[in-house]
Structure 1
Amino acid sequence: MINVQVDEREVLKFCRERIGELVKEVEGEYVFWDSAELKKRTCMSWNTIQEAFFFDPRFPKRKVGSKWYFPARETRAFLETWLMEQR
């Protein structure tokens, strides 16, 4: 006969870590964001985005027709850098 004991705290810790990894993967699925997604991801209005960093030459953006698009990975990296630069 085999007896197995499981530490619930370790199982919960493992599950939380794995869920966190999966969430990061899902977030990374977007190739690019549009302006609505950018506003959602930054929790900023379009006016605030324009005043804060939109015209920063490092900010990756491309206008296609009348819409702005932002490469997801590069935009996220820029935003993290930009935020750390703010006082």
Structure 2
Amino acid sequence: MINISVDENEVRRLYLEELKEHIKKVDAELIFWDTKELTKRTCMSLSTVQKEFFYDPRFPKRKVGGKWYFPVDKTKEFLLMWLDEHA
């Protein structure tokens, strides 16, 4: 008979490590966010985004046709700066 024991904490740690790496790769693939992705990433509703920082002239955004796009790197920088200012 063969007994196999698994360290659940180690499995969890490995899983989370792999998940973080995968998220980094997916995140690196995005160049722009749309409005849906922006609200998802900030955990804010669109009305809150509009009220809090959408109209800030420093907030990076471009409208193409009828849709708003936000460059990921610049948007992340702005959001971190904005959060520090409002902490």
TM-score category of the 2 structures, normalised to the smaller one: 0.7 to 0.9
Equivalent in the alignment of 1:85? 85
Q: Between Structure 1 and Structure 2, how many residues are aligned?
A: 82
Give the 3-state SS of the residue equivalent to 1:28 in structure 2. helix
Counterpart mapping for 1:1-87 below 5 A: 16-17=16-17, 19-87=19-87
Distance 1:64 1:39 in 2: 18
TM-score by length of 2: 0.74
Deviations 1:18-54 (A, max 9, x none): 6434422321211101100101011111110011000
Q: Which runs of 5+ in 1 are unaligned?
A: 1-7
Deviates more, 1:11-20 or 1:39-48: 11-20
Distance 1:37 1:11 in 2: 31
Distance 1:72 1:14, change over 3 A: same
Aligned-pair RMSD on alpha carbons? 2.2
